[in-house]
């Protein structure tokens, strides 16, 4: 039996990261910030601004998870991060503007191939989201991405951001499945490493065709698109 056949026989749940894997976060946020930055007279690159925003958010969420204190909401981390980046860029802002920019995350659209790929995967597996987003943000996003998942799970259930091991364990517990019956799908190296380390199978959606990482927690499957994942798993 091939490794892929073994995976297909053992997997009952496909679990997806949402931001950047299911929905196009980078392009979607660039569309949002471009007119905002132009209105401020900022001459920089909107794509670079969004990358800066997302990296700052990631750093702040990792700090929050490591502190071992009460979990801070994704929305709050986002607002702190956007405010920091605006200050670094020398752009004047109000907190109302910051909140508006972060709220745009709820309106992100899926990558073009995602709806059809999920429809194909749904014929064989339960489809679940495990996201760093807040529960209400994930629920609000439904009307914009239009995708039907069996369950939306926020890391707020575990009280820490991914890739903390508790997030993956809690998600498997909620779905009442063994860790190795889950295929965790992400566009992010850190998320695949976290899920694999916790005991899940992993699929790396390598849209940008970049190296994975020098780590013992290599993905079980590496694909360029969700279409390719559906073709291999169904």
Residue 179, Cα to own-chain centre: how many angstroms? 19
Query: Does 194 share its domain with 128?
Result: yes
Q: Are both 227 and 117 inside the same structural domain?
A: yes
Task: State which residues form the domain around 122.
Answer: 3-24+110-233
pLDDT value of residue 83: 98
**Cα separation of 46 and 38, whole Å?**
9
pLDDT of the chain along its 234 residues, tens only? 788 989 999 999 999 999 999 999 999 999 999 999 999 999 999 999 999 999 999 999 999 999 989 999 999 999 999 999 999 999 999 999 999 999 999 999 999 999 999 999 999 999 999 999 999 999 999 999 999 999 999 999 999 999 999 999 999 999 999 999 999 999 999 999 999 999 999 999 999 999 998 999 999 999 999 999 999 999
Verify that 92 and 120 share a domain, yes or no.
no
Q: What share of the chain is helix, strand, coil (3-state, %, to 5)?
A: 55, 15, 35
**Torsion 153-156-157-158 (CA) sign:** positive
Q: Please tell me the distance from the alpha carbon of residue 133 to that of residue 156, in angstroms, as a whole number.
A: 8
Same domain, 141 and 73: no
pLDDT at 2: 87
Of 64, 90, 107, the last residue of a domain is 107
- Give the residue from 73, 99, 68, 62 showing the smallest Cα distance to 194: 62
How many domains would you assign to the chain? 2
Q: Domain check: are 197 and 138 in the same one? A: yes
CATH number at residue 18: 3.40.50.1000
Residue-by-residue DSSP string for 109-138 = PBPTTHHHHHHHHTTTSEEEEEESS-HHHH
Query: Looking at the structure, do residues 46 and 98 belong to the same domain, yes or no?
Result: yes
Looking at 71, 87, 107, the residue that finishes a domain is 107
pLDDT at 5: 87
Using H for helix, E for strand and C for coil, what is the string for 162-189?
CCCHHHHHHHHHHHCCCHHHEEEEECCH
Q: Token pair 């020398």 is at which residue?
A: 90
Residue 102 shares a structural domain with residue 148: no
CA pair distance 112, 109, nearest whole angstrom? 9
Residue ending a domain, among 91, 107, 123, is 107
Instruction: Tell whether 51 and 147 lie within a shared domain.
Output: no
Q: Are residues 133 and 71 in the same domain?
A: no
Same domain (yes/no): 140, 119? yes
What CATH number should be reported for the domain holding residue 73? 1.10.150.240
């Amino acid at each position: 039996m091939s490794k892929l056949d073994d995976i297909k026989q053992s997997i009952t749940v496909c679990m997806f990261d949402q931001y950047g894997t299911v929905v196009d976060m980078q392009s979607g946020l660039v569309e949002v910030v471009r007119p905002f930055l132009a209105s401020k007279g900022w001459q920089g690159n909107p794509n670079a601004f969004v990358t800066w925003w997302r990296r700052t958010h990631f750093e702040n969420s990792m700090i929050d998870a490591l502190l071992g204190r009460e979990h801070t909401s994704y929305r709050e981390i986002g607002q702190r991060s956007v405010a920091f980046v605006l200050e670094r860029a020398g752009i004047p802002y109000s907190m109302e503007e910051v909140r508006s920019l972060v709220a745009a995350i709820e309106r992100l659209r899926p990558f073009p191939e995602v709806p059809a790929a999920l429809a194909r995967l749904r014929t064989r597996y339960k489809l679940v989201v495990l996201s760093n987003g807040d529960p209400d943000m994930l629920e609000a996003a439904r009307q914009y991405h239009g995708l039907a998942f069996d369950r939306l799970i926020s890391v707020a259930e575990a009280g820490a951001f991914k890739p903390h091991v508790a997030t993956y364990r809690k998600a498997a517990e909620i779905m009442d499945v063994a860790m190795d019956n889950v295929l965790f799908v992400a566009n992010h190296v850190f998320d695949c490493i976290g899920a694999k380390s916790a005991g899940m199978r992993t699929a790396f959606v390598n849209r940008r065709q970049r190296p994975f990482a020098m780590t013992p927690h290599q993905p079980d499957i590496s694909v360029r698109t969700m279409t390719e994942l559906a073709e291999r798993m169904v």
